[in-house]
């Protein structure tokens, strides 16, 4: 009887409260934003990983949690969620089962005062919702202007990865930066850049092949994070 009474309790978390809990998207602390919005028990993360197409989700499923952190925030901000009297429903990003069925997450109001507004009670494809939510849009990355200057803000991309590019160890700094710029341009000309979400916006990761370009399916020597400006590309 007590359970039935609890199930009839209406969700009291408003859209404004959820966006306030998330805070600004202009941060690289995506998981911290999610944990401020909702508590997702580890058992539910494990269940979601088991039901989704096979992926390497890292230690303690941290990669999965970060994936969800970004996509759940998009779902809330884009209002791509649905509700019932006592529950809120979002897609688990764009994750699907091996049969192509979307995976969903079900939240209820967190009854622990002073904690996150939401508490995850179920993950799976088998949810009972008045209206199924749909996945959030992935923001479009900016168009890369061709022929603009490539600027390296710092030489840390080489200094912090010296063990991966020992052949540049005795090369003057200016020549090192020219080598990186040339590798970036080569990769961009072949469309090898990968869009990624960083500090509230879409930018790119560019693989740098500086020794061997015969087989680009192999791991690159370095990865360069690129910020697109109207008149330049900034290596962060």
- 76 inside domain: yes
Do 9 and 78 reside in the same domain of the chain? yes
What are the structure tokens assigned to 9, written together? 């309790």
- Cβ density class 9-18: b for 16+ within 10 Å, e for less: eebebeeeeb
The per-residue pLDDT for 4 is: 37
Query: If DSSP states are collapsed to H, E and C, what string results for 29-83?
Result: CHHHHHHHHEECCHHHHHHHHHHCCCCCCCHHHHHHHHHHHHHHHHHHHCCCCEE
CA distance 27 to 12: 27
Do 95 and 11 reside in the same domain of the chain? yes
pLDDT per residue as tens, the chain (236 positions): 333 334 445 557 899 999 999 999 999 899 999 999 999 999 999 999 999 999 999 999 999 999 999 999 999 999 999 999 999 999 999 999 999 999 999 999 998 888 999 999 999 999 999 999 999 999 999 999 988 999 987 666 666 767 777 777 777 878 888 888 999 999 999 999 999 998 889 999 999 998 888 888 889 989 999 999 999 999 98
Do 162 and 106 reside in the same domain of the chain? no
CA angle 103, 74, 22 (to 5 degrees): 115
* Residue 153 belongs to domain spanning: 149-235
Q: What 3-state class would DSSP assign to 181?
A: helix
- 54 inside domain: yes
Q: For strand 102-109 and strand 38-39, is the pairing parallel, antiparallel, or unpaired?
A: unpaired
The per-residue pLDDT for 175 is: 83
The per-residue pLDDT for 6 is: 43
Domain count, the chain: 2
The per-residue pLDDT for 141 is: 94
Do 156 and 96 reside in the same domain of the chain? no
The per-residue pLDDT for 73 is: 97
- 66 inside domain: yes
Q: For strand 222-229 and strand 201-208, is the pairing parallel, antiparallel, or unpaired?
A: antiparallel
pTM for the predicted model, two decimal places: 0.83
Do 61 and 116 reside in the same domain of the chain? yes
- 131 inside domain: no
* Cα separation values, 205 from 63, 161, 195, 233, Å: 17, 16, 6, 12
Q: What's the half-sphere exposure (Cβ side, CA atoms, 13 Å) at 202?
A: 12
Do 9 and 120 reside in the same domain of the chain? yes
Do 165 and 216 reside in the same domain of the chain? yes
Do 113 and 162 reside in the same domain of the chain? no
- 52 inside domain: yes
């Amino acid at each position: 009887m007590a359970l039935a009474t609890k199930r009839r309790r209406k969700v009291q978390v408003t859209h404004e409260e959820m966006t306030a809990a998330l805070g600004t998207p202009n941060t690289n602390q995506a998981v911290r934003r999610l944990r401020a919005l909702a508590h997702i028990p580890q058992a539910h993360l494990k269940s979601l990983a088991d039901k989704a197409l096979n992926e390497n989700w890292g230690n303690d499923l941290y990669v999965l949690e970060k994936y969800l952190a970004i996509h759940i925030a998009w779902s809330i901000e884009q209002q791509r969620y649905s509700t019932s009297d006592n529950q809120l429903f979002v897609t688990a990003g764009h994750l699907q089962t091996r049969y192509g069925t979307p995976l969903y997450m079900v939240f209820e109001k967190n009854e622990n005062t002073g904690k996150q507004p939401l508490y995850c009670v179920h993950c799976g494809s088998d949810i009972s919702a008045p209206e199924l939510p749909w996945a959030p849009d992935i923001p479009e990355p900016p168009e890369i202007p061709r022929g603009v200057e490539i600027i390296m803000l710092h030489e840390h991309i080489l200094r912090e990865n010296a063990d991966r590019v020992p052949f540049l160890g005795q090369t003057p700094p200016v020549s090192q930066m020219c080598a990186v710029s040339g590798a970036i341009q080569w990769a961009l000309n072949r469309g090898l850049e990968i869009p990624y979400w960083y500090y509230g916006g879409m930018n790119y990761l560019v693989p740098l092949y500086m020794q061997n370009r015969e087989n680009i399916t192999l791991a690159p020597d370095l990865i360069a994070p690129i910020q697109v400006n109207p008149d330049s590309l900034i290596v962060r």
